[in-house]
Structure 1
Amino acid sequence: MLYFFITGWGIFWVLSFFLFAAKAQANTPFVPNIEEMNFSTFAPIESDGSIVLSNQIIQQLGFNPNRSWQKGQTLDNIIQLGDISEGFGVDTFTLNDIKSLVNLDFDQLSLKDFGIVQFQTIGSLFKAIPNLQDQKIKTIPPLRDLIKVSQCGGKSQGCNLLNYSLKEITKDSQLASLPLNQLSLEQYKFSDIPGLSDTDLKEFKQWQQVFLSEIPGLNQVPFSKFPNSLSINGLGLGFAQIDIAFSQAEYQALKSISGSYQEGFNKSCTGGCSHIELGGNPLMLGQQWVSGNSQKVKGGYGILGLLFAGLEPTGRHPFGKVFKVVIGDIDETTGTVQIDLYFRVCKKGFINLGCSPYGIGPIPFITFKEKDWLFF
């Protein structure tokens, strides 16, 4: 009897798997096309928000990530390079790398379009592009004009500093600290600073606090083409059907598959828990994904973990750590489920200040209905 019971139980699960696979094929589960997804494809943010750090923490960071945003702003005007450096490795990109991936014509752009330049001084530019050290100042148009205006009354004649090399100029701390943003940067091209387009973004001063929209073409780079490309984790049985959508009136969700890295991804909810109940996949039958509108969980770590009161909406990470996938609004009457994304701020390296909770959002992502298949 035990033999027949075990055999029958095994056959049941095998048949259930093939039934699940047939249903999934018939319903075609939705998986975002990573080859086409980029920062310009997202809808505007749906709520106001801000990041506010103390001056002490800003000094430790070495840059200022403070910012505020309003409902309706696009993601590339909210996210800074430092926010995605860990997840995407964007710091190792050069302008020429980006140009090779998107339709970008440098001849139509000026130094004003490269937001990093506004933070540079003569000294920081020398550190970022050391190959410039032997070039004379007069051969580098922006530096030539900066020295001419600040040191020589706007005249070239009799301005001996223009014959100095960049290395010689930077030996004078006052000259080295002259900022390029004193110039009208729109009058210069990328090629006016030799080596600019071949230099990693991370080599420039305060690169972390530059917005994605200030790096030409970066918002059009597919997530699959970043140095650390976006991956899809858990393919295979990583699908389930949205069986039932419950509103906030549902008191509890005790079979949760949502949560955070800090609290795990089975964080139960009580006291008003909007959620979806899953089906279709026999391994996920009856499991619940709680809405981030109903439940906040611990998130982040290190000093930056104090941001957003140390909390983030409950959710999952089917695409890795770059962003968090969160269920937002659920309409029980229509069976409609809104999926949102949330981003975070990180600072690692020589000084590791950790990462904030996923608190930059919500960014509308996908809308599902009951009986649709969800990639989780």
Structure 2
Amino acid sequence: MKSPILWVILLFMWLFSLGWGTPSTASSVPAVNLETLRWADLPPIQQSDSYLVDTGLSQQAGYSLDKQIQAGDRLTDIFTLGDMAETGIANLSLIQIETLAQLNLQDIALSAISHFTKQSLGSLVEALPALKTLPLGEITPLADLVKSQVTEGIQDLLSQNIGALVGNSAIAQLPLSQIPNLQTFSVADIPTLAETPLKEFAGWQEIRLKDTPGLDQIPLADLGMLSPSAIATLDIVWGAAESQATFQPISGSTKVGFQYPCQQER
């Protein structure tokens, strides 16, 4: 099932809420640069609402499509990676997000990364198969998790490869959210976590966009969600105050460009 394009509709609702298509002074209508527009630039929702989707559609999608919206929520509070699946956003890894959003992964704690904290030790190993051949004692956050939950034979466990350990269902089911002092560890403390696409993790469809650090800082055009060349605004000159062009207006041309001011009287 293809993901809904509700985000496009909401984007245009936002643009019109700024006064696009209505008489105004040039100073009251901000120019929106679609090349740099980010999720973080979109304003919060003004009214609470809820959207219930047919259960069959949710089952087909593999996760709940229902939306509970509170006034003040931003689109990144509402939309999930699953909602954006058709854009390829879930193909991104943390390293790619770091580059696009100009972040430093070393500054981001593991506790802030939902597609990590929502895993069990077993599901993490499925997402990061390279962990299977590593001794538990070499991965400090995971070793701390096991030590906090297991009291007997811990030294033997620390020397075993993680792949063998998750054969024990009790250990495999340990939730990563219970790693002691999780906020003190970074992405670099888990081998291959930064290089692995988001969609490789169990439950990725239900991860809200805001729960993946940096996604809201990436221009939508860089995510393939918005093509500036496909959208233009029709300039209607209501007076001299609006003689300066808005972003990519249709009143320009291929000869003079699409940022051409209208100097004529009405």
- The alignment's TM-score, normalised by the length of structure 1, stands at 0.50
On the 8 A contact 1:38/1:222 being kept in 2, the answer is yes
The aligned residue for residue 215 of structure 1 is 212
> Structure 1, residues 108-154: CA drift from partner, whole Å, max 9, x if none?
2211111111211111111111111100111112211121111227x
On the 8 A contact 2:35/2:228 being kept in 1, the answer is no
Query: How much identity, in percent, do the aligned residues show?
Result: 30
SS of 1:197 mapped into structure 2: coil
Match of 2:178 among 179, 182, 186: 182
Structure 1 CA distance for aligned equivalents of residues 96 and 235 of structure 2: 40
Deviation of the 1:173 alpha carbon: 2.6
SS of 1:81 mapped into structure 2: coil
**Alignment-mate amino acid for residue 206 of structure 1:** G
On the 8 A contact 1:152/1:159 being kept in 2, the answer is no
Deviation of the 1:67 alpha carbon: 4.3
**Alignment-mate amino acid for residue 145 of structure 1:** D
The aligned residue for residue 100 of structure 1 is 99
The aligned residue for residue 46 of structure 1 is 46
Are positions 1:160 and 2:159 aligned together? no
Gaps of 5+ in 1: 1-26, 245-279, 282-376
The aligned residue for residue 289 of structure 1 is none
**Alignment-mate amino acid for residue 107 of structure 2:** Q
SS of 1:224 mapped into structure 2: coil
On the 8 A contact 2:147/2:154 being kept in 1, the answer is no
The aligned residue for residue 23 of structure 1 is none
Aligned length: 211
The aligned residue for residue 124 of structure 2 is 125
Structure 2 CA distance for aligned equivalents of residues 120 and 67 of structure 1: 23
Gaps of 5+ in 2: 1-25, 239-249, 252-266
With CA pairs under 8 Å and 6+ residues apart, which has the higher RCO, 1 or 2? 2
Instruction: Note the 1:31-180 alignment, pairs <5 A.
Output: 32-52=32-52, 61-86=61-86, 88-152=87-151, 158-180=154-176
Structure 2 CA distance for aligned equivalents of residues 188 and 225 of structure 1: 29
Structure 1 CA distance for aligned equivalents of residues 95 and 121 of structure 2: 22
The aligned residue for residue 194 of structure 1 is 191
Match of 1:230 among 226, 233, 243: 226
Instruction: Decide which structure has greater helix share.
Output: 2
- The alignment's TM-score, normalised by the length of structure 2, stands at 0.69
> Structure 1, residues 37-80: CA drift from partner, whole Å, max 9, x if none?
01000111121122445777655544344442211222222221
> Structure 1, residues 201-251: CA drift from partner, whole Å, max 9, x if none?
00011111111111111101001211x35224656xx6545699xxxxxxx
